[in-house]
Structure 1
């Protein structure tokens, strides 16, 4: 795993990250990674495709794009939905 050096950050920013890290019980590096990841997720563009399912929308956030796992998850969710419809309709 590589290192990342962030240059020219103001002292106030470093202090703010350090305060957040302390509140969460993590290191400055851990908190910086968390904030960068959070920023990347927030910056993602949302597809305007009407055929996009909820799973498709969440897939990039929740984990690796493994088609086998995605199919297994979709099958499980279909089974849950079928039981829900059967029991409540």
Structure 2
């Protein structure tokens, strides 16, 4: 395990961590590590999953209240264009 020195922490923040450590019976380092772990977990949980192209297009249609038949027609066009381009050689870029 490695060390992670943290510099320039305000006195108030250090005091808050020390008080939390005392309440939980942890050392200052253990409490800071736990706080960092919890913050990273919350951040990871809050991160939205990337959308597929279909989901992005659908979201755009939903925001405009154009769903059902409209999105089906557009997605059929997108799929037809994708199939048309599938396997096509790349253009020479110079």
Question: Which TM-score applies when normalising by structure 2?
Answer: 0.49
Which portions of structure 1, spanning 4 or more consecutive aligned residues, are displaced by more than 4 angstroms? none
2:30 match: 30
Q: Which moved more, 1:38-47 or 1:25-34?
A: 38-47
2: CA distance, partners of 1:38 / 1:48: 23
How far residue 41 of structure 1 moved from its aligned partner, in angstroms, is: 0.6
Among 40, 46, 49, which residue is 1:47 paired with? 49
Size of the aligned set, in residue pairs, is: 50
User: Secondary structure of 2:33's partner?
Assistant: helix
Alignment of 1:64-79 (within 5 A): none
Unpaired segments ≥5 residues, structure 1:
50-89
Question: Which TM-score applies when normalising by structure 1?
Answer: 0.51
How far residue 30 of structure 1 moved from its aligned partner, in angstroms, is: 0.4
Unpaired segments ≥5 residues, structure 2:
52-94
1:15 match: 15
1: CA distance, partners of 2:24 / 2:30: 10
2: CA distance, partners of 1:34 / 1:19: 14
